[in-house]
Every structure is written in C-alpha cells, then in structure tokens.
Amino acid sequence: GAVVSQHPSRVICKSGTSVKIECRSLDFQATTMFWYRQFPKKSLMLMATSNEGSKATYEQGVEKDKFLINHASLTLSTLTVTSAHPEDSSFYICSASRGRGANVLTFGAGSRLTVL
C-alpha cells in the first residue's frame, strides 16, 4: 500500500531559527503533495499544494515567505518554517496523491513543532 513518511515527528527549536520538515512517499511517485496545519483540538487547515518541479500554491492567509515549500522530486516535499516564533507551534501534516484523478490521500504521521 501507499506509505508516506514524515520526519521529524517532533521538533523543539528556539525562536528565530528555521525548521525543515520532510515528507516522502516511500513506494509511489507523488506528483502532488499537500501540507496541512492542525491546532490543538481543531481540524486540519490546508496550507499549500505542492507540485513536483513547480512553485507551491498557497491558500489564502498563509505566508509563503514564512512557510517555504519545495517539491524537488517525485518522492520528496519539504516544508521549512523560517524564523520560527511561538505562534508557529503546531502539528504539521503532509499528504500525497499519485496525481490527477488519483483521489485517495495518504497521510504522513505528522510533525509536532514547538517553538520556545
């Protein structure tokens, strides 16, 4: 079955530093990956759509300079939280799609970011 690996699962960083989260599709090529953010006891909010080899498409209200997304290969997308602040602390989850028409989403296990 389709497996998506997300790393790291937990990260604690100091305010002002940058943190990179990786999302890998292990056994399939993911032309499209999605990044979500989840606040405690809340639903998942789509942040951006990442297509291999092109710029990410950000949802309204998401700062593209704060949340840098790179989808350099068909199996890897990265989310970099730049100059992190405590309000960026959250649970970040990625999902992957095999591509257009392949509508079943496979999710990574999530990454919990705590900014001190």
Partner 1 sequence: GIQVEQSPPDLILQEGANSTLRCNFSDSVNNLQWFHQNPWGQLINLFYIPSGTKQNGRLSATTVATERYSLLYISSSQTTDSGVYFCAGGFDSWGKFQFGAGTQVVVTP
Contacts with partner 1, residue ranges (CB under 8 A):
32, 34, 36, 38, 41-44, 46, 49, 91, 93, 95, 97, 99-107, 109-110, 112
Indicate the SS3 state at residue 8.
Answer: coil
Q: Which is nearer to partner 1, 72 or 109 (CB)?
A: 109
Residues 6+ apart with CB under 8 A from 41: none
Residue 85 is which amino acid? H
The least CB distance from residue 32 to partner 1, in Å, is 5
Q: Which is nearer to partner 1, 78 or 97 (CB)?
A: 97
Rounded to whole angstroms, the Cα distance separating 3 from 28 reads: 8
The least CB distance from residue 13 to partner 1, in Å, is 18
Phi, psi of 115 (to 5 degrees): -110, 120
Token pair in block for residue 15: 């305010």
Q: Which is nearer to partner 1, 44 or 82 (CB)?
A: 44
